[in-house]
Amino acid sequence: MEGFGGSGGSRNRRITMASSTGRGGSRPPPLCGGRRRVVATKKHGWSNPLSVNNSVKKLQRREISSKPNRASAITKSLHRFRNFRLTERYDIHDPVGQCSLVLPLLMKRAKVIEIVVVHDIVFALASSGVCAAFSRDTNKRICFLNIYPDEVIRSLFYNKNNDSLITVSVYASDNFSSLKCRSIRIEYIQRGKPDEGFPLFETESLKWPGFVEFDDVNEKVLTYSAQDSIYKVFDLKNYTLLYSIADKHVEEIKISPGIMLLIFSRGQSHVPLKILSIEDGTVLKDFNHLLHRNKKVDFIEQFNEKLLVKQDNENLQILDVRNAEVKEVGSTEFMTPSAFIFLYENQLFLTFRNQTVSVWNFRGELVTSFEDHVLSHPDCNTNNIYITSDQDLIVSFCKAADNQQFTDRRAGSINISNIWTGKCIAKINSSNAVSSKEEEGSSSSRSRQIEVNMVEEALEDITALYFDEDRNEIYTGNSNGLVHVWSN
């Protein structure tokens, strides 16, 4: 699993680009919201990001509360997503070499793996490591964020504290083995000057299995240097070092609002755990959690005062760390998911398993099963899922209904579903995202067919998705390196 938090309503968010999530973990990392982790690759040489989990939307955290009138919110949502059309297309690929640098990575097309929208700028990152910035006002490319010919950008993070974009990259000159971070103010990017940024964490050795993790919930940065087995916590506002954690027995760190969970090397029948204050590293609680002997741990996740522990073929345990009360959910009811998204405001969490999504509460009860919501990609990640800041809607790329006819079986639909009810309240597909005869007026049948083809092509293999709630626009990227804008 890969971190935890919501993708849009988002709290903690992590992005993992390697086969392990910590110093020796083998499990895939959970989906998450306000936190993002990038792990250095294990092997020397360039590792294709397509081969590993890349989650995530860069969604700014917003302090919100649940809607008091859900029926009213649903009605509003129906109107919000009515008559969405394909309105614009951007191309990351640069076949005519208009970039100021010669970027070997632009020699062939690569799929879009991440989209971030900040103000009026659309950032699109390709699996090749090329990142382009487009102006939503002019619909023209502003610049590429790669400032060196051998730079492979692995991840993006928007730091709202200083209105800057942080890039995490690897370089051919370093055999793609170390993560390098740069901060670029948005105003520099708007002027087409991404090279005016400055490097971050230069003193840290971020080689595998080292990582850097950005947490905009607590406004902190966590780094791990495998060279000396030291975790460091920095202030996200000014990047100053706050404190260090030097303990070779720490296997993983999970971040939740206000606290950190330290998971230590397990004993035969227990795992040592510590809960620390995120602000100064003070130990708030130190305890052992009992385990079944000789059974692997599927996951340990922290959600405020709740601890979720699951072992192979065993019940899910939901532990309240304040009073040690344990709630168990049968292994046949709750099967190990491939990913989580925690919804902090609503005290719920989403699980992803076999391309389906379910909503649970912390009493271990199934709250929602979604209708008409089979995810198109088996490797679920927050690149093709968005949760709104009110945490009431999930926007996903789903398989097309059986009765829909597409030119390619990879084609699907963009579904907007209500998290509380599981109902699909809106859908963008090739049949409703094309102008009606009344709307097209005097346009020819040839023009209409071109529009149909463009819509179908845009929905054929969506590999990244982002919803700009302020503009009320959905952005999707596909395997050809194209970004499409959908709006009404």
Lowest mean pLDDT among 216-225, 375-384, 462-471: 375-384
212 vs 408 pLDDT, higher one: 212
Q: What is the pLDDT of residue 283?
A: 95
pLDDT of residue 184 exceeding 90, the answer is yes
pLDDT of residue 264 exceeding 70, the answer is yes
Give the Cα separation of 370 and 418 in Å (integer).
8
The answer to whether the beta carbons of residues 302 and 261 sit under 8 Å apart is yes
Closest by alpha carbon to 206, among 39, 21, 52, 13?
39
pLDDT of residue 443 exceeding 80, the answer is no
Q: Indicate the burial class of 260 (C-beta count within 10 angstroms; 0-12, 13-18, 19 or more).
A: buried
At 119, list the tokens.
């103000």
Lowest mean pLDDT among 118-122, 137-141, 199-203, 367-371: 367-371
pLDDT of residue 379 exceeding 90, the answer is no
Q: What is the pLDDT of residue 365?
A: 92
Q: Indicate the burial class of 294 (C-beta count within 10 angstroms; 0-12, 13-18, 19 or more).
A: exposed
What pLDDT band is residue 241 in, cutting at 50, 70 and 90?
A: very high
Concatenate the DSSP letters of all residues of 220-276 into one string. EEEEEETTTTEEEEEETTT--EEEEEE-TTEEEEEEETTEEEEEEPP-SSEEEEEEE
50 vs 128 pLDDT, higher one: 128
pLDDT of residue 227 exceeding 50, the answer is yes
Give the Cα separation of 48 and 63 in Å (integer).
36
119 vs 60 pLDDT, higher one: 119
At residue 445, the 3 state secondary structure works out as helix
| Vertex 182: Cα angle to 180 and 188 (nearest 5) | 155
Residues counted in the chain: 488
Q: Does the predicted model carry a pTM greater than 0.75?
A: yes
Average pLDDT, the chain: 80
Q: What is the pLDDT of residue 71?
A: 55
Q: What is the pLDDT of residue 339?
A: 84
pLDDT of residue 220 exceeding 80, the answer is yes
Q: What is the DSSP letter of 178?
A: B
Q: What is the DSSP letter of 415?
A: E
Question: Which residues are within 8 A (CB) of 466 and not within 5 positions of it... i.e. 6 or more apart?
Answer: 57, 115, 116, 117, 386, 474, 475, 476
Secondary structure of the chain: what % helix, strand, coil (to 5)? Answer: 10, 40, 50
Query: Omega of the bond prior to 29 within 30 degrees of 0, cis?
Result: no
Q: What is the pLDDT of residue 375?
A: 85
Average confidence (pLDDT) over 325-351: 88
Q: What is the pLDDT of residue 52?
A: 27
Give the Cα separation of 473 and 455 in Å (integer).
16
Q: What is the pLDDT of residue 374?
A: 84
Tens-digit pLDDT profile for residues 2-25:
332 334 433 344 433 343 333 333
Question: Which residues are within 8 A (CB) of 189 and not within 5 positions of it... i.e. 6 or more apart?
Answer: 121, 133, 142, 143, 145, 165
Q: Going by DSSP bridges, is the β-strand pair 316-320/306-311 parallel, antiparallel, or unpaired?
A: antiparallel
Tens-digit pLDDT profile for residues 142-183:
999 999 888 999 999 999 999 999 999 999 888 888 999 999
Q: What is the pLDDT of residue 70?
A: 55
Lowest mean pLDDT among 128-142, 236-250, 452-466: 452-466
Give the Cα separation of 175 and 179 in Å (integer).
11
178 vs 436 pLDDT, higher one: 178
